[in-house]
Amino acid sequence: MGAIALASPLPTAGRRARTESYEALIERLSVQSVKKHFDAYDDIDWDAPRNEVRADDPRFELTADTTLGATQWYQAQPQSVRASIGLHLTASSMKTGIAFENVLQRGLLEFCSTVPNGSVEYRYAMHEVIEEGQHSLMFQEFINRSGFDPKGLTGRVARASRRVVTFGRVFPELFFLFVLGGEEPIDFAQKRDMKSGRMKHPLSRRISQIHITEEARHLCFAQQYLERNVPKLPYWKKVILAVVTPFILSEMARQMLQPSDAIIERHDIPSSVIREAFTDNTEHRAAVQESLHSVQQLCKRLGLIDGPAPYLWRVLRLGDPNRPVLAA
């Protein structure tokens, strides 16, 4: 199949309220999941010569306008090492994506066990489970061809993810904020790299095109579910959301947008380079804040930027939640 266009922005909450009900929107997302969906093996030509994955392929090299690619340390590495680091970062990001989508799928199944017969959410959530399964298949196929063995989530983050699954049943509003925390940063990074021309390998581009197109629906569903249901919550649950959300977003952005410890160790990246490219880098910090801006504004609309929340957003370097809301 030919290339596909990036997903168009979905209607904002204000415009949708005037033209389309919540139920109609979710039904439309379900219909689109039937009309425009992808198969990991039928819609990607894995064996095309142009899609070969090699660790020394210069198409995987980081460009000089990325924070790590801009460091003198990275630029001083041999070409094959620069390409290998770029490929390892791509494969590791996909493995993290698989781990996140595994949590998402299991949480959605828990969520589906609670909704009543006839609910529009059940059908759409099951479509999303299927789509996330296809994403995991294409991510894993790429990883298998990369020659690397990334591990995904480990340690306390892996343990915490098992608890998140249960929120799909007992606290779906917190679960869907976790969903946005995982999906928004990677969606932002893929769109940025596609538009800037940084993503040069055609297999990476094809996988990202498919992922971006279907994730637009997933993000829309999570956002609209939260806008409909958070206002109905008791005060104490809103307090939990206000306090916990910035911690979730901070950790998920770190998992999605920074090199794993395994990559740092495998390629012997000095800690000073990590600080230069990520920890103390204002450009990276601005990118993290931009990737989470829509979630921050959603939290503001939902009344979750109260009490200690603004301080938590700032101390976690997620930006000032009291900055003016962008016009729709």
- pLDDT tens-digit profile of 231-243? 999 999 999 999 9
Asked if 173 and 229 count as a contact pair (C-beta separation under 8 A), the reply is yes
Residue 324's CB: how many other CB atoms inside 10 A? 6
Please give the average per-residue pLDDT across 138-148, as a whole number.
97
Distance in angstroms (rounded) separating the CA atoms of residues 93 and 51: 18
132 within domain boundaries: yes
10 within domain boundaries: no
DSSP 231: G
Alpha-carbon 127 to chain mean position: 18
Please give the average per-residue pLDDT across 257-272, as a whole number.
93
pLDDT at res. 161 = 81
28 within domain boundaries: no
Task: Name the domain count of the chain.
Answer: 1
Distance in angstroms (rounded) separating the CA atoms of residues 132 and 120: 19
17 within domain boundaries: no
Query: Can you give the length of the chain in residues?
Result: 328
pLDDT at res. 18 = 52
More confidently predicted of 319 and 40:
40
289 in the Ramachandran plot: left (φ > 0), alpha (ψ -120 to 50) or beta?
alpha
pLDDT at res. 162 = 85
CATH value at residue 231: 1.10.620
pLDDT at res. 59 = 96
Asked if 76 and 273 count as a contact pair (C-beta separation under 8 A), the reply is no
Place of tokens 């679960």: 175
Distance in angstroms (rounded) separating the CA atoms of residues 135 and 214: 9
Asked if 74 and 149 count as a contact pair (C-beta separation under 8 A), the reply is no
What is the CA angle 239-241-247, rounded to 5?
115
pLDDT at res. 118 = 93
21 within domain boundaries: no
**Mean pLDDT value across the chain:** 89
Distance in angstroms (rounded) separating the CA atoms of residues 87 and 54: 8
Report phi then psi at 325, rounded to 5: -70, 135
Asked if 245 and 171 count as a contact pair (C-beta separation under 8 A), the reply is no
Distance in angstroms (rounded) separating the CA atoms of residues 55 and 82: 9
pLDDT-based confidence at residue 152 (cuts at 50, 70, 90): confident
pLDDT-based confidence at residue 196 (cuts at 50, 70, 90): confident
Asked if 248 and 309 count as a contact pair (C-beta separation under 8 A), the reply is no
Amino acid letter at 10? Answer: L
Please give the average per-residue pLDDT across 151-175, as a whole number.
87
pLDDT at res. 256 = 85
Distance in angstroms (rounded) separating the CA atoms of residues 194 and 200: 8
Is residue 16 scored above 50 in pLDDT? no
30 within domain boundaries: no
Please give the average per-residue pLDDT across 221-225, as a whole number.
96
For the four alpha carbons of 155, 156, 158 and 163, in that order, the dihedral sign comes to positive
179 within domain boundaries: yes
Place of tokens 């009309």: 35
Maximum pairwise Cα distance, the chain: 61
- Based on its alpha-carbon atoms, the radius of gyration of the chain, rounded to whole angstroms, reads 20
pLDDT at res. 324 = 57
Distance in angstroms (rounded) separating the CA atoms of residues 34 and 31: 5
Residue 226's CB: how many other CB atoms inside 10 A? 24
Domain interval for residue 181? 38-315
pLDDT-based confidence at residue 10 (cuts at 50, 70, 90): very low
Buried/exposed 28-62: b ≥16 CB within 10 Å, e otherwise: bbbebbeeebbebeeebeeeeeebebbbebebbbb
- Give the tens place of pLDDT for each residue, 239-256: 999 999 999 899 888 888
What is the CA angle 322-308-182, rounded to 5?
75
321 within domain boundaries: no
